[in-house]
Amino acid sequence: MTLLIVLPDRIQDAHNLATALRTINGDIDVRVWPDIGEAEAVEMVVAWHHRHGCLASFSNLRLVASFGAGVEHLLQDSGLATHVPIVRTVDPALVRGMAEYVVLAITDWRRGWSRYKDDQKRGSWRPQPYAFSSTVLLMGVGRMGSAVAEALVALGYRVIVWSRSGVTIEGAECVAGRKGLEEALPQADAVVCLLPLTSQTENILNCGLFSIMKPGTLLVNVGRGNHLVEPDLIDGLAVGKPGHAVLDVFREEPLPPEHSFWNHPNITLTPHIAALTDPMGAAECIAENWRRLQSGEALMDPVDRTQGY
């Protein structure tokens, strides 16, 4: 039976993943799209940004794995039969990469690191004070958010975590529900969006939330571009709520050259690199789910289609 890798815009990753999978389990017939072999033999697909509809011809498909943490790209494919389970691939490098990125974004902003880089270019010696305590609100406390929360707690930040079910993290304060979010927001110096994109979370970063932020708050969006209402951010930045935004994800990627975010003085942007899936680490997770599929054991990181993540 075949495990097919469909990563059309990440061909090198696809081949690295195939090599790693063959090393871990030489019995799997691993193929890289468009070399599908016998369509009826395809039992598992690993996909990222696949062309919607292209999985419909695999009549014996039993499992689809996202090559990453997000799954909206799979759930939005109406050609993917609803009886086929979906799993996420959350390798240790992805989790560590996210913790590193968010800590970097927050510490850069809090300590004024970028300003010192500019000062050095001008030969300017300008020590600046910085806040000795900071509160960070994390929206989303899953595999990514919990690692970020633990890293920030270890650095001495006051951390408030917001989730659907009220997840607790040692050393952090936990809130849930709309009321919990609205009570936490005005206390935060930095707000980080680490939510999955679902019908409940789309457009959640909007003028309603920005209006109850403290002036000068840092907003970090590493979830998805569709969490953010872009015109609301521009209006919010104009009045300092938020004071600055660090954005890694966008409604349209790559961000179009004419987009106003590129030159906004209060926006720092990166090209969706907050955390990258390591094909070697991912291969371990995918091979384990292949093994569990064959033996009928519970799958790792399953997606709840009704919740959308």
Give the active site residues.
224, 272
223 binds ligand OXD (CB under 6 A): no
Contacted by 167, from ligand OXD, ligand NDP, none: CB < 5 to 8 Å by type = ligand NDP
Q: Which of 47, 67, 102, 33 is nearest to 276 (CA)?
A: 67
165 binds ligand NDP (CB under 6 A): yes
Q: Count CB atoms within 10 A of the CB of residue 47.
A: 25
In this chain, which of 5, 55, 140, 190 binds ligand NDP, going by CB under 6 A?
A: 140
Q: Where are the alpha helices (DSSP H) in the chain?
A: 11-24, 72-75, 92-111, 113-122, 143-154, 177-184, 207-211, 230-238, 279-295
Minimum CB separation from ligand NDP for residue 221, in Å? 9
Q: Which stretch binds ligand NDP (CB under 6 A): 197-205, 235-243, 260-268, 289-297?
A: 197-205
Binding window for ligand NDP (CB under 6 A); candidates: 41-49, 50-58, 136-144, 252-260: 136-144
Q: Should residue 275 be labelled a site residue for ligand NDP when binding is judged by CB under 6 A?
A: yes
- Residues 87-106 close enough to bind ligand OXD by CB under 6 A: 94
Give 108's Cβ-side CA count (13 Å radius). 16
User: In this chain, which of 4, 102, 169, 274 binds ligand NDP, going by CB under 6 A?
Assistant: 274
216: left (phi > 0), else alpha (psi -120 to 50), else beta? left
217-234 per-residue burial string, b: 16 or more CB within 10 A, e: under 16:
bbbbbbbbbbbbbbebbe
H-type helices in 27-112, by residue range?
Answer: 72-75, 92-111
User: Does the protein bind ligand NDP through residue 138 (CB under 6 A)?
Assistant: no
- The interface mask with ligand OXD, positions 264-283, x = CB under 6 A, is -----------x-x------
- Span 207-266, contacts to ligand NDP by CB under 6 A: 222-224, 248-249
Question: Is residue 70 involved in binding ligand OXD (CB under 6 A)?
Answer: yes
Determine which residue in the list 20, 30, 69, 149 makes contact with ligand OXD, applying CB under 6 A: 69
Amino acid at position 76, single letter: Q
| Secondary structure tally for the chain: helices H, strands E | 9, 12
- Binds ligand NDP (CB under 6 A): choice among 46, 90, 106, 149: 90
* Residue 127: Cβ within 10 Å count: 8
Q: In a 10 Å sphere around its CB, with 0-12 CB exposed, 13-18 middle and 19+ buried, how is residue 16 labelled?
A: middle
Which of the listed partners (ligand NDP, ligand OXD, none) does 163 bind, with a CB threshold of 5 to 8 Å by partner kind?
A: ligand NDP
Stretch that binds ligand NDP, among 35-43, 102-110, 271-279, 292-300 (CB under 6 A): 271-279
Residue 143 binds to ligand NDP (criterion: CB under 6 A):
yes
Tokens of residue 29, six digits? 């017939």
Contact set for ligand NDP, span 5-64 (CB under 6 A): none
Q: How far is the CA of 273 from the CAs of 98, 247, 250, 285, in angstroms?
A: 9, 10, 12, 21
Q: How far is the CB of 278 from ligand OXD (least distance, A)?
A: 11
Burial class (CB in 10 A: 0-12, 13-18, 19+), 77: middle
Site for ligand OXD in 116-135 (CB under 6 A): none
Q: Which residue is nearest to ligand OXD (CB)?
A: 68
CB–CB of 208/233 below 8 Å? no
**Binding footprint of ligand NDP on the chain (CB under 6 A):** 68-70, 90, 94, 98, 140-145, 163-165, 167, 194-198, 200-201, 222-224, 248-249, 272, 274-275, 309
